């Protein structure tokens, strides 16, 4: 059930909302409210329903149960963009300004009607006053300047000079920023943002944070960027509560403040979850043993005696009733606990070590020297003429958008040939690249099927044989329920987990990570950092994530020098 609030004051609310896909529950009994001027951060494991909840709040999906209340003016920034490739950049901006243009036209028409009105006709004057008030509230006369400032603040100001350029010619990052800019220019009463800091550099994130803090309406944002959430959020909604029934997350855990405040509450909840799970499993073991053995004994707690035979012979019916009652009582308690037990805490992420496929002098794995990719990267000009990767080395690539970070990663991976310089790897070295953008939206094979395809290469390289489920299960990347679902039906974040699982199942020597925190849950990011700390291979990472950069304990290479 969905309704819209007629009031000029926007209030966004979900009341007892549940939703599932093809019979699989995704959200169960979610209740929350976001008042004007409040900014709610959505967090939770991949597949917990963050993007789904945003679509429900926006009205592009209808809930299976519950009610959603929203104002009429809602803007949604989705992970997958809505623009046709032939759409011109200028048309996107003009569409964002459509409401402002309409107010401007109404003011002009009202002025004309007032000038032509009869002296005793008060209606045109009232109409003009309403139009003028609406135009002033929308800052009609500053609209074009604000649009230009928004494009510039998000790092795409140059697009304003080429309004006829087709969206299809933009990079994925430019398209995302253009979509975000269009929403900020339109300034709807409710802003729903799915990973808004993806593809933004530090300056653009600061700009976005400042705009959102000044936004008078309600904001709901799903984000992996904890620094951004700390800077912007007035509350956090966790769609993966610390405890809930088996098979689905139930409800939502709400905390006030930013993400740091939420972390403290989350840590305490995780500890309580683990303790409750351990206690319940111990009780289940005891009850199962009682049903099988203890409750069936005449005198539980001591060994059998000859007197037991006497008791059974002369008081057989009473003993049978007692034993039956004990067994029935234990079985009832067992069934009740099995029904309400909390689900098992997810196994933390861990990486298997590389498989050695040949001798390497002093651990040297790969290198790039004086690499030039015309218009995209010049290592020497950037002050980094050479890059050598040895076993265990950790490199963080920094620099603004366009500095060449992704280009260098693709060159090292071997899927982009440089125009100048040299790049190479030692014999037998395997390099894996986690790219920014995924191309699995239409993939109908399941994670299990894709991982099974890796098995022959594992055997050929001498890696231990694995069951098809083992790479995913051992790494703690996917829930068992997702192994048999078509990859294209999974959330963007879960698809990214699938790709990461496929990469690490190959046991690479060098791992290249391009914006690895994009679309990954904050919990998984923590686990990724911990897993990489002990992994013996080489790691090269490019990221805009401020928290990750702040906590990086390896070397830093700046391509923006």
35-68 pLDDT tens trace: 999 999 998 877 788 889 999 999 999 999 999 9
Kindly tell me if the per-residue pLDDT of 109 is higher than 70. yes
> Would you state the pLDDT for residue 308?
53
- The radius of gyration of the chain's CA atoms, rounded to the nearest angstrom, is 30
pLDDT digits (tens, 9 = 90+) for 408-426: 999 999 999 999 999 999 9
In whole angstroms, what is the distance from residue 222 CA to residue 228 CA?
11
C-beta atoms surrounding 139 within 10 Å: 13
Mean of all residue pLDDT scores within the chain: 81
Q: Which two tokens stand for residue 9?
A: 């004051």
> Would you state the pLDDT for residue 409?
94
Domain spanning 361-558: which superfamily?
P-loop containing nucleotide triphosphate hydrolases (3.40.50.300)
What is each CA distance from 268 to 184, 242, 271, 272, 528, in whole angstroms? Answer: 37, 9, 5, 6, 21
DSSP symbols for 309-344:
HHHHHHSHHHHHHHHHHHHHHHHHHHHHHHHHPBPP
User: Which helix (H) or strand (E) covers residue 448, if one does?
Assistant: helix 447-452
In whole angstroms, what is the distance from residue 300 CA to residue 218 CA?
63
Domain spanning 1-73+189-257: which superfamily?
P-loop containing nucleotide triphosphate hydrolases (3.40.50.300)
In whole angstroms, what is the distance from residue 396 CA to residue 91 CA?
38
In whole angstroms, what is the distance from residue 277 CA to residue 243 CA?
9
Burial class (CB in 10 A: 0-12, 13-18, 19+), 179: buried
> Would you state the pLDDT for residue 6?
44
Query: Structural domain boundaries of the chain?
Result: 1-73+189-257, 85-187, 278-340, 361-558
Among 107, 102, 150, smallest CA distance to 130 is for: 107
Tell me 159's DSSP state.
G
As a residue count, the chain comes to: 561
> Would you state the pLDDT for residue 106?
86
Kindly tell me if the per-residue pLDDT of 183 is higher than 80. yes
pLDDT digits (tens, 9 = 90+) for 237-283: 988 754 433 333 457 888 888 888 888 887 787 788 888 888 888 88
The mean-pLDDT minimum among 91-95, 294-298, 468-472 falls in 468-472
> Would you state the pLDDT for residue 362?
54
- Regarding pTM above 0.95, the answer is no
Kindly tell me if the per-residue pLDDT of 544 is higher than 70. yes
The mean-pLDDT minimum among 375-389, 417-431, 543-557 falls in 543-557
Q: Do domains 1-73+189-257 and 361-558 have the same CATH topology?
A: yes
pLDDT digits (tens, 9 = 90+) for 115-163: 888 888 888 889 888 988 888 887 888 888 888 898 889 988 888 888 8
> Would you state the pLDDT for residue 273?
82
Q: What whole-number percentage of the chain has pLDDT above 70?
A: 83
In whole angstroms, what is the distance from residue 37 CA to residue 11 CA?
10
> Would you state the pLDDT for residue 467?
43
Q: What whole-number percentage of the chain has pLDDT above 90?
A: 25
């Amino acid at each position: 059930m969905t309704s819209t609030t007629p009031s000029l004051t926007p209030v966004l609310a979900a009341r007892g909302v549940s939703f599932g896909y093809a019979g699989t529950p995704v959200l169960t009994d979610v209740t929350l409210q976001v008042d004007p001027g409040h900014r709610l951060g959505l967090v939770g494991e991949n597949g917990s329903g963050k993007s789904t909840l945003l679509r429900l709040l926006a009205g592009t999906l209808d809930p299976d149960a519950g009610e959603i209340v929203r104002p009429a003016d809602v803007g949604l920034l989705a992970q997958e963009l809505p623009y046709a490739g032939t759409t011109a950049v200028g048309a996107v901006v003009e569409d964002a300004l459509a409401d402002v243009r309409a107010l401007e036209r109404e003011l002009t028409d009202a002025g004309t009607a007032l000038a032509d009105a009869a002296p005793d006709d008060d209606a045109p004057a009232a109409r003009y006053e309403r139009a003028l008030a609406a135009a002033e509230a929308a800052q009609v006369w500053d609209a074009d300047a604000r649009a230009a400032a928004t494009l510039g603040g998000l790092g795409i100001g140059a697009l304003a000079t080429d309004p006829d350029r087709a969206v299809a010619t933009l990079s994925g990052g430019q398209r995302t920023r253009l979509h975000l800019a269009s929403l900020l220019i339109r300034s709807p009463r409710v802003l729903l943002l799915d990973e808004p800091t993806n593809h933004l550099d530090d300056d653009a994130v600061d700009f976005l944070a400042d705009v959102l803090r000044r936004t008078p309406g309600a904001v709901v944002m799903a984000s992996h960027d904890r620094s951004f959430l700390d800077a912007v959020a007035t509350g956090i909604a966790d769609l993966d509560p610390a405890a809930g029934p088996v098979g689905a997350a139930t409800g939502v855990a709400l905390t006030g403040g930013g993400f740091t405040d939420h972390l403290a509450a989350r840590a305490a909840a995780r500890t309580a979850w683990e303790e409750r799970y351990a206690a319940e499993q111990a009780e289940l073991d005891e009850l199962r043993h009682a049903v099988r053995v203890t409750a069936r004994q005449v005198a539980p707690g001591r060994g059998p005696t000859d007197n037991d035979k006497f008791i059974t012979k002369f008081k057989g019916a009473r003993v049978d009733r007692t034993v039956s009652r004990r067994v029935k009582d234990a079985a009832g308690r067992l069934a009740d606990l099995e029904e309400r037990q909390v689900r098992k805490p997810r196994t933390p992420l861990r990486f298997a070590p590389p498989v050695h496929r040949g001798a390497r002098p002093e651990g040297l794995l790969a290198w790039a020297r004086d690499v030039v990719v015309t218009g995209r990267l010049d290592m020497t000009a950037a002050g980094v003429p050479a890059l050598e990767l040895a076993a265990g080395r950790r490199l963080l690539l920094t620099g603004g958008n366009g500095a060449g970070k992704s280009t260098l990663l693709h060159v090292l991976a071997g899927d982009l040939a440089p125009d100048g310089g040299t790049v190479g790897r030692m014999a037998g070295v395997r390099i894996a690249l986690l790219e920014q953008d995924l191309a699995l939206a239409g993939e109908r094979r399941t994670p299990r099927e894709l991982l099974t395809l890796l098995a022959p290469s594992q055997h050929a390289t001498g890696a231990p044989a694995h069951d098809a489920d083992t790479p995913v299960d051992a790494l703690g990347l996917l829930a068992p329920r997702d192994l048999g679902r078509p990859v294209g039906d999974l959330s963007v974040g879960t698809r990214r987990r699938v790709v990461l699982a496929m990469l690490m199942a190959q046991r690479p020597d060098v791992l290249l990570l391009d914006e690895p925190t994009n679309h990954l849950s904050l919990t998984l990011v923590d686990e990724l950092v911990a897993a990489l700390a002990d992994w013996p291979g080489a790691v090269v990472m490019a990221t805009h994530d401020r928290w990750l950069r702040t906590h990086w304990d390896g070397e830093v290479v700046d391509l923006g020098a």
